[in-house]
Amino acid sequence: MKVDVSAVEQAAINSIIPELEKAHDELLSGTGKGSDFTGWVKLPGTRDRDEFLRVKKAAKKIQGDSQVLLVVGIGGSYLGARAVIEFLRGSFYNLRRKDTPDVFFVGNNLSASYAEQIIELVGDRDFSINVISKSGTTTEPAVSFRFWKTLCEKKYGKEGARGRIYATTDAARGALKKLCDSEGYETFVIPDDVGGRYSVLTPVGLLPIAVAGIDVDELLSGAAEMMGICAVPGLENPAWQYAAARNALYRAGKTIEVLACYDPDFVFMAEWYKQLYGESEGKEGKGIFPAAVSFTADLHSMGQYIQEGARTLFETVVLIENSSGSMAVTSDPDNVDGLNFLTGKSLSEIELQAFRGTYLAHMDGGVPNLVVSMDKKNAQSLGKLIYFFEFACGLSGYLLGVNPFDQPGVEAYKRNMFALLGKPGFEEEGRRLAARLDK
């Protein structure tokens, strides 16, 4: 994996080195803000062997007895697994002919129409459920789990359902943990010191990812390799380069980062990245706003803004080197579209030139481009990329001076929603809010 930050002046990067040294030290020694939640830093090297083997065993069982796995979770308890599955197995994973179960993600919204569509898609097929919640109290997955648990018990009986429901939650706390203990579900633990958006390499992500037939050993081995690389302080460290470059740009007024990739299978990786950076950095009136585009599709929608809109953007392109696929442009005897000059050229070659042309155009338009290159589209390289983004995010948060591991702002909507729904104890507040909305 390589990071190209040549779009940023070396002097600007160098000026951040002393802050980076401090941030690096705080992250590795667990002495910075939010240090109770830095367990992910050493996770790929210290994973609980027994827990990991249980995850693999459960995945095998689900592959054997289910045609569908329903993953109930939201935010960090959902995006990582979906991102890895769609990137490595393709965004059409559920539509493909395969010998692993379909994986549907539920409990990540409150839409009745979404829920109805999933019910229809599951139909009368055999299914298992993996309910994931670190706090065990999040409304969206809790409401969804009530529903799917009832359906599962109706179909398989209480005892049968017990063998099909897997929970991933805190070791001791939360309503979900209590429920698991009373119902006897197989339970996987989210380590205390790993927050939701940093949890894809724990059972949170690993169980659904393994069910989809992805080699979780390779994913973790890539992450462990990058952990070794990121542990070394200095500007050779790709996470240092990236964190320094994006912070230098932010300080120069580039407050929006657009993550771009030319592979549509990357769309959910970008969603995962947006949560990671948005929730880690966006606080105390600060933070780079993370946006994402999928090229070349979005060159025909957002491309105009990127080229000529408000000059507050910089772009980070994730480039996948050694793209597979040999599809080439066919010849047309009439050449009405004038494209015969492309005959025999592979789509990968055309895509590469699209990237090179776009890079120059956007740089010329005043949008600095950082480039993160992955060696290959495989589990090993993806493990590296995941750890790289996590480590760089921790560093970046410390450079900004915030706690990158909390999310206090997420509570505001929940409180209002509960009050408006008439939660006991919130009645007065509910009346006040309703009066404001209804006037």
**Catalytic site residues?**
279, 300, 414
DSSP of 312-350: -EEEEEEEESS-----BPPP-TT-TTS-GGGTT-BHHHH
Residues in the chain: 439
38 binds ligand PA5 (CB under 6 A): no
Beta-bridge mates of residue 68? 102, 127
144 binds ligand PA5 (CB under 6 A): no
Q: State which residue, 76 or 383, has the beta carbon closest to ligand PA5.
A: 76
- Rounded to whole angstroms, how far apart are CA atoms 178 and 176? 5
107 binds ligand PA5 (CB under 6 A): no
Q: Please, what is the minimum distance in Å from the beta carbon of residue 180 to ligand PA5?
A: 14
Q: State which residue, 358 or 407, has the beta carbon closest to ligand PA5.
A: 407
138 binds ligand PA5 (CB under 6 A): yes
DSSP of 383-406: HHHHHHHHHHHHHHHHHHTS-TT-
- How many residues in the shown chain lie near ligand PA5 by CB under 6 A? 15
257 binds ligand PA5 (CB under 6 A): no
135 binds ligand PA5 (CB under 6 A): yes
Q: Find the part of the chain contacting ligand PA5 (CB under 6 A) among 135-143, 264-272, 309-317, 321-329.
A: 135-143
Q: Where are the alpha helices (DSSP H) in 212-326?
A: 216-230, 238-251, 267-281, 303-308
Question: Cα separations (Å) of 39 from 187, 273, 364?
Answer: 20, 19, 42
Binding mask 54-83 for ligand PA5 (x = CB under 6 A): --------------------xxxx------
134 binds ligand PA5 (CB under 6 A): yes
Q: Please, what is the minimum distance in Å from the beta carbon of residue 79 to ligand PA5?
A: 8
Residue whose C-alpha is closest to residue 129's, from 176, 70, 181: 70
Binding mask 311-350 for ligand PA5 (x = CB under 6 A): ----------------------------------------
Q: Please, what is the minimum distance in Å from the beta carbon of residue 339 to ligand PA5?
A: 46
89 binds ligand PA5 (CB under 6 A): no
407 binds ligand PA5 (CB under 6 A): yes
Q: Can you tell me which residue has the tokens 């210290």?
A: 46
Q: State which residue, 144 or 407, has the beta carbon closest to ligand PA5.
A: 407
CB 386 within 8 A of CB 223: yes
Q: Please, what is the minimum distance in Å from the beta carbon of residue 190 to ligand PA5?
A: 7
H or E element in which residue 380 lies = helix 379-400
Q: Please, what is the minimum distance in Å from the beta carbon of residue 135 to ligand PA5?
A: 3
Q: State which residue, 37 or 314, has the beta carbon closest to ligand PA5.
A: 37
- Rounded to whole angstroms, how far apart are CA atoms 191 and 180? 17
DSSP of 131-145: EEESSS--HHHHHHH
Q: State which residue, 100 or 108, has the beta carbon closest to ligand PA5.
A: 108
Six-digit token string for 156: 């398989």
CB 185 within 8 A of CB 129: no
133 binds ligand PA5 (CB under 6 A): yes
CB 193 within 8 A of CB 206: no
Per DSSP, 169 falls in state: E
208 binds ligand PA5 (CB under 6 A): no
Beta-bridge mates of residue 73? none
Residues near 210 by beta carbon (within 8 Å), at least 6 away in sequence? 55, 56, 59, 216
Q: Residue with the closest Cβ to ligand PA5? A: 196
Q: State which residue, 39 or 195, has the beta carbon closest to ligand PA5.
A: 195
Q: State which residue, 77 or 100, has the beta carbon closest to ligand PA5.
A: 77
386 binds ligand PA5 (CB under 6 A): no
Beta-bridge mates of residue 256? 289, 313
- Rounded to whole angstroms, how far apart are CA atoms 274 and 278? 5
Q: State which residue, 145 or 359, has the beta carbon closest to ligand PA5.
A: 145
Q: State which residue, 136 or 368, has the beta carbon closest to ligand PA5.
A: 136
Q: Please, what is the minimum distance in Å from the beta carbon of residue 133 to ligand PA5?
A: 3
Q: Please, what is the minimum distance in Å from the beta carbon of residue 132 to ligand PA5?
A: 6
- Is 71 strand, coil or helix? strand
196 binds ligand PA5 (CB under 6 A): yes
Residues near 352 by beta carbon (within 8 Å), at least 6 away in sequence? none
- Rounded to whole angstroms, how far apart are CA atoms 356 and 4? 13
Binding mask 273-292 for ligand PA5 (x = CB under 6 A): ------x-------------
197 binds ligand PA5 (CB under 6 A): yes
Six-digit token string for 104: 């549907």
Binding site residues, ligand PA5, CB under 6 A: 74-77, 133-135, 138, 141, 195-197, 279, 407, 410
